[in-house]
């Protein structure tokens, strides 16, 4: 089968791109021809992908990719209006996509995040060429101009004029107006009506989409695939020996040979709870925290670490996948202090696959992944002041939970083992592949 995968970021940037490349690997492994199309990022780190040739492989349309736009910077009224027009309906994206479509001749198109940088103009091209489309839903942009449903330190589901009045997008009237208009126009013209199936990674996501008016019959839940990196186990107690190869993945977080830190791995954005993680680290100076990832808050986070002299916090920046897996294996506990409705975070899945105990916020799709006290620990999301919000109390609960688990060897091992067994069964890559191919087949026949 010839499958064209479309995403605005064709490099390791977020959970959506992590899934994209996991899916591409699965499809190529099973002998399918895969095309990759989206925006061009010449300086971005590129994932290792098998080049096209023989049975299976990847075709990347380097000359037909869309130039990425910077929506975080004002560039004058003319350029800003052009960017706004691109958000609504990009003729450049449609033209280049049609060329890629004609060259690759796919049986089906699988889109991921296309808003802002690409636009739904490409869906009209797919319809013109009678190529069916399915879409994986990685956030909430289909139902709200604010794709995270998070704003000003709390869950926010405001729409329309209320979203503009409260500056729900980037705390900016201009950005809020632009995103609200974009959403309203796309709804009015039925920009996504030609998508045959929407694939949700968790029941929570499907329920939220249905709650906001999307038809449940077109939405199917398919858990994301995850597998532990082979040949890794915890480091030897012998100093300097490092990661051991050709061994099964680690199970549990039992102390020994360097498993002496708590790890956060993910995008550095406010809704991920990274500043609240610093507040927690302040109260646990005896425990080392490592933060792996990049994002818009990277510089400010570093300033905060320096300002408050958090010597127990280490910022690792961008970490390649293989090295990140080693860092996960060496960690004692993984924390996911998210403040938004996480759809199905890979930070949780990959940690569980390595047999690690995860402490995560009881919010969104995370609750679909963790059975509290059995396969992980769920805690109410830590909130910011004012004190009347209960933020201080919740941070205290996080601190107490971390301290308790940190010192309980038996519980760490028990939770890690149960988590690994569950996630490798429920999020098995081959099961995911079979379900995706079943959806592809039904859509193509239809």
Quick one: tokens of 133? Answer: 């489309």
How does residue 387 score in pLDDT terms, banded at 50, 70 and 90? very low
Cis status, amide bond into 426, omega within 30 of 0: no
How does residue 62 score in pLDDT terms, banded at 50, 70 and 90? confident
Alpha carbon distance, N-terminus to C-terminus of the chain: 16
**Backbone phi, psi, residue 369, to 5°:** -100, -30
Is the per-residue pLDDT at 386 higher than 80?
no
How does residue 12 score in pLDDT terms, banded at 50, 70 and 90? confident
Whole-model pTM over 0.85? yes
CATH number among 3.30.70.100, 3.40.228.10, 3.40.50.720, 3.40.50.2000, domain 2-142+192-225+429-445: 3.40.50.2000
Is the per-residue pLDDT at 151 higher than 70?
yes
Residue 265: HSE in the Cβ half-sphere, 13 Å Cα cutoff: 28
Cβ contacts of residue 176 below 8 Å, gap of 6+?
Answer: 145, 163, 164, 166, 167, 168, 169, 170
pLDDT score for 396:
85
How does residue 102 score in pLDDT terms, banded at 50, 70 and 90? very high
Is the per-residue pLDDT at 123 higher than 50?
yes
Of 250 and 374, which is predicted with more confidence?
374
How does residue 52 score in pLDDT terms, banded at 50, 70 and 90? very low
Is the per-residue pLDDT at 392 higher than 60?
no
The model's pLDDT over 276-286, given as tens digits with 9 standing for 90+, comes to 999 999 999 99
Angle between helices 274-282 and 298-307 (to 10 degrees): 10
pLDDT score for 245:
40
pLDDT score for 51:
42
In Å, what is the CA distance from 298 to each residue of 18, 135, 207, 246? 20, 30, 33, 35
- Determine if residue 392 is left, alpha or beta; phi over 0 gives left, psi from -120 to 50 gives alpha, anything else beta: alpha
**Does the domain spanning 261-426 belong to CATH 3.40.640.10?**
no
H/E element, 360:
strand 357-361
What integer best gives the mean pLDDT of the chain? Answer: 89
Quick one: tokens of 134? Answer: 């399915």
DSSP label of 54: S
Is the per-residue pLDDT at 402 higher than 50?
yes
pLDDT, mean of residues 9-15: 89
The model's pLDDT over 217-263, given as tens digits with 9 standing for 90+, comes to 999 999 999 987 665 544 433 333 333 443 444 555 444 446 799 99
CA-closest candidate to residue 267, choices 319, 334, 326, 201: 319
Counts of helices then strands in the chain (DSSP H, E): 15, 15
pLDDT, mean of residues 165-181: 94
The model's pLDDT over 76-87, given as tens digits with 9 standing for 90+, comes to 888 889 999 999
pLDDT score for 50:
46
Q: What is the rounded distance in angstroms from the CA atom of residue 186 to the CA atom of residue 190?
A: 6
How does residue 394 score in pLDDT terms, banded at 50, 70 and 90? low
Range list for CATH 3.40.50.2000 in the chain? 2-142+192-225+429-445, 261-426
pLDDT score for 41:
74
């Amino acid at each position: 089968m010839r499958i064209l995968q479309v995403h605005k970021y064709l490099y390791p940037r977020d959970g959506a791109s992590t899934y994209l490349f996991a899916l591409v690997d699965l499809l190529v492994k099973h002998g399918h021809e895969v095309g990759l199309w989206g925006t061009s990022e010449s300086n971005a780190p590129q994932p290792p992908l098998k080049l096209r040739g023989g049975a299976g492989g990847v075709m990347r349309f380097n000359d037909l990719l869309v130039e990425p736009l910077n929506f975080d910077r004002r560039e004058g009224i003319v350029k800003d209006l052009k960017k706004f027009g691109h958000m609504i309906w990009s003729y450049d994206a449609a033209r280049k996509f049609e060329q890629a479509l004609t060259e690759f001749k796919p049986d089906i198109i699988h889109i991921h995040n296309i808003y802002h940088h690409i636009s739904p103009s490409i869906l009209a091209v797919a319809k013109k060429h009678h190529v069916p489309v399915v879409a994986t839903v990685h956030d909430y942009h289909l139902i709200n101009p604010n794709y995270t449903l998070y704003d000003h330190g709390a869950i926010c589901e405001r729409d329309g004029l209320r979203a503009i009045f409260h500056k729900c997008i980037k705390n900016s009237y201009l950005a809020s107006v632009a995103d609200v208009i974009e959403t309203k126009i796309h709804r009015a013209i039925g920009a996504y009506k030609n998508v045959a199936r929407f694939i949700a990674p968790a029941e929570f996501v499907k329920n939220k989409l249905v709650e906001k008016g999307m038809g449940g019959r077109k939405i199917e839940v398919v858990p994301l695939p995850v597998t532990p990196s082979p040949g890794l186990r915890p480091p030897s107690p012998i100093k300097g020996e490092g990661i051991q190869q050709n061994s099964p993945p680690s199970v549990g977080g039992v102390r020994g040979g360097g498993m002496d830190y708590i790890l956060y791995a993910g995008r550095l954005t406010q809704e991920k709870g990274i500043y609240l993680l610093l507040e927690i680290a302040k109260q646990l100076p005896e425990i080392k925290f490592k933060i792996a990832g990049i994002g818009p808050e990277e510089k400010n986070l570093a300033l905060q670490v320096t300002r408050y002299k958090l010597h127990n916090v280490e910022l690792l920046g961008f970490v390649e996948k293989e090295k990140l897996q080693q860092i996960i294996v060496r960690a004692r506990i993984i924390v996911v202090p998210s403040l938004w409705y996480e759809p199905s975070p890979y930070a949780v899945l990959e940690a569980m696959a390595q047999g690690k105990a995860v402490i995560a916020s009881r919010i969104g799709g995370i609750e679909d992944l963790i059975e509290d006290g059995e396969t992980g620990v769920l805690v109410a999301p830590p909130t910011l002041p004012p004190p009347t919000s209960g933020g201080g109390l919740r941070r205290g609960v996080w601190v107490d939970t971390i301290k308790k688990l940190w010192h309980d060897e038996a519980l760490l091992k028990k939770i890690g083992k149960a988590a690994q067994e569950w996630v490798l069964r429920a999020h098995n890559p081959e099961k995911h592949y079979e379900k995706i191919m079943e959806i592809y087949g039904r859509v193509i026949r239809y």
